[in-house]
Amino acid sequence: MMSGDGLVVRIRPRAGQVTAAQAHGIAQAAREYGNGVIDLSSRANLQLRGVRAETHGALLKALDALGLLDDDPATEARRNIVVTPFWSKSGVEPALAPALEAGLAASDLALPGKFGFAVDCGPRRVLNATPADIRIERSDRGKLIVRADGAQFGLPIAFEQAAVVALALARWFIASGGISEGRGRMAAHIRKGAVLPAHLAGTELPAAQAAPATTGLVAGGALVAMAFGSMTADSLEKLASAAAELRVTPWRMVFLPGSDLMPTGLGIISQANDPLLRVESCPGAPWCPQARAETRLLARELASHVPLGKTLHVSGCAKGCACARPVALTLVATSQGYDLVCNGTASATPVVHALSADEILSQPARYLGGL
Ligand code: SF4
């Protein structure tokens, strides 16, 4: 994808995981072929920024040598699977995710670009807020289930059948008219009245949701974040030196399994109360061609004024790429300045129009007071 700072190249790690050696290789490639910036996406992908068109081919070769490329772009696009970062080697995920990948690769399913799968088989669900259309998870009685997103109940299945049933559900979605003009999501399809066939509908309630993940030491390892989910090649190398494996999460954090020390420095956020965790922002101007103004500098300067537990989203335009959910306060760049939205998304109706950055920075309490 072309952006204001060059090509953005997506790396979709299998089961969200890269080895330390792969992470070192990605950092090296980001410096050599891009501008050294690596973003964490909300689909648990890594994105290399600032890649030059003339070095794109060499970058792909480097990623291939690291074992990070699929056979072709269509296979990579279909492999839209988010796996809980807290999987353990003795759990079902290490075998289930590859089975699903293999099934998707071998299939001819023409699914919409955003259609995805979540593999979330811990005792409590951690991916419930992560968009996905088909979920493999646990029921409240601990059974493995496959559940269509938006359906109240899941179908209990044997481990060996999970990937097969998930693919059958995807096939039903297509056959039952879930796609319109190349788009479609499972939850919307069910909301509109689509009824699952008896052999795909279940009666098992999904397990309870876990508390949202926060930065710090957690069971099984360390969770670290970077402001705006954006890191440098140096930061990635530092993380790669701290653990044998890195797992990219959909919360724009990295989980270091087995680590009992929090890495620090180089922009790594290790404290859950760091004000930078209260702001979200897309790259904005000049990095995105659609951006109307600068975003991240403003967000950084306002971060310490955002109350604990609240979120401020600074968006380069009304598309709101950095944060699709409604938050307490959103500043949306327009050609006249920044519009202010309260309790909404970047595309919601603003309550104040055309503020300048100086106006907001000189009276942050006035504009953040509504939080
Ligand atoms: S929200 Fe707008 S400015 Fe920001 S990245 Fe998306 S399209 Fe670009």
Atom number of ligand 1 nearest to Cα 320: 1
137 contacts 125 by C-beta, under 8 angstroms: yes
Mutate to test the pocket of ligand 1, among 5, 39, 319, 323 (most ligand atoms within 8 A of CB): 319
Atom number of ligand 1 nearest to Cα 289: 8
SS3 call for 317: coil
What pLDDT is attached to residue 308? Answer: 87
Distance 252 CA to ligand 1 centre (A): 17
pTM of the full structure: 0.92
What pLDDT is attached to residue 371? Answer: 45
Structure-token pair, residue 35 = 């501008």
Residue nearest to atom 6 of ligand 1 (CA): 321
Q: Return d(Cα 103, Cα 36) in angstroms, integer.
A: 35
Atom number of ligand 1 nearest to Cα 292: 3
What pLDDT is attached to residue 37? Answer: 96
| Nearby residues of 369 by Cβ (< 8 Å), 6 or more positions away | none
Distance 296 CA to ligand 1 centre (A): 12
CB-CB neighbours of 278 under 10 Å:
22
Mutate to test the pocket of ligand 1, among 315, 323, 339 (most ligand atoms within 8 A of CB): 315
Reported as type and span, the H/E element at residue 359 is helix 357-362
Residue nearest to atom 5 of ligand 1 (CA): 282
DSSP secondary structure string for all residues of 236-273: HHHHHHH-SEEEE-TTSEEEEET--S---BTTEE--TT
Q: Which residues line ligand 1 (CB under 6 A)?
A: 282-284, 288, 290-291, 315-317, 319-321
Atom number of ligand 1 nearest to Cα 291: 3
What pLDDT is attached to residue 370? Answer: 53
Q: Return d(Cα 332, Cα 317) in angstroms, integer.
A: 6
pLDDT by residue for the chain (371 residues), tens only, comes to: 888 889 999 999 999 999 999 999 999 999 999 999 999 998 999 999 999 999 999 999 999 999 999 999 999 999 999 999 999 999 999 999 999 999 999 999 999 999 999 999 999 999 999 999 999 999 999 999 999 999 999 999 999 999 999 999 999 999 999 999 999 999 999 999 999 999 999 999 999 999 999 999 999 999 999 999 999 999 999 999 999 999 999 999 999 999 999 999 999 999 999 999 999 999 999 988 899 999 999 999 999 999 888 999 999 999 999 998 999 999 999 999 999 999 999 999 999 999 999 999 999 999 887 54
Q: Could you give all domains of the chain from N- to C-terminal order, each with its CATH number?
A: 2-70+227-269 (3.90.480.10), 87-191 (no CATH), 275-368 (3.30.413.10)
Which bin fits 256, alpha (ψ -120 to 50), beta or left (φ > 0)?
Answer: beta
Mutate to test the pocket of ligand 1, among 41, 42, 282 (most ligand atoms within 8 A of CB): 282
Residue nearest to atom 2 of ligand 1 (CA): 317
Q: Return the ∠ at Cα 160 (arms to 156 and 165), rounded to 5°.
A: 55
Distance 14 CA to ligand 1 centre (A): 27
DSSP secondary structure string for all residues of 156-212: E--GGGHHHHHHHHHHHHHHTT--BTTB--HHHHHHTT----TTT---BPBPPBPPP
Distance 80 CA to ligand 1 centre (A): 22
Distance 92 CA to ligand 1 centre (A): 37
